[in-house]
Amino acid sequence: MGRLAMLERRSLPASNRGGSLIGIVFILFGIWVMLTFGFKLGPAYIGNMEVKSVLQQLEDDLRWQTQHSLRGRFLHLVKDSSVYTNELKADNVEVERVADKFRISVSYDAVIPIMGNLSFLIQFREQGEVTRR
């Protein structure tokens, strides 16, 4: 039985013995697509993580008296800490007073061009609360 299997293996053409060139091309194409999307979409998510960290930083700071000063401080911190949040404008930040707290809502869209006329739209919505003094 072992001898028969060896004979059958030897009789296979060379093109059927391993990975083909077309298989390698498909694998390389898949890797290229994943890397392209990762490098294009990654900065948008990094920017959103920075927005979250600024919201957390403001939640820990208890000195805010007015909505205007809180909005200004948030925008200042985001612009100083991030090069990835170009889509975030003052109109995207809402500060509302709820009882003894301020609720900060941030919503913005990131449009990422992939290639040609193909683009991704990512919608970010974050919220935080700051206790008023």
Q: Domains of the chain: which residue ranges?
A: 21-131
DSSP state letter for 17: S
Confidence grade of residue 105 (pLDDT, cut at 50, 70, 90): very high
Q: CB within 8 A of 59, min separation 6: which ones?
A: 128, 129, 130
Average pLDDT over residues 15-25: 76
Instruction: Report, as an integer, the average pLDDT of 80-103.
Output: 82
Please, are residues 130 and 114 in contact by the beta-carbon 8 Å criterion?
Answer: no
As a whole number, the mean pLDDT across the chain is 83
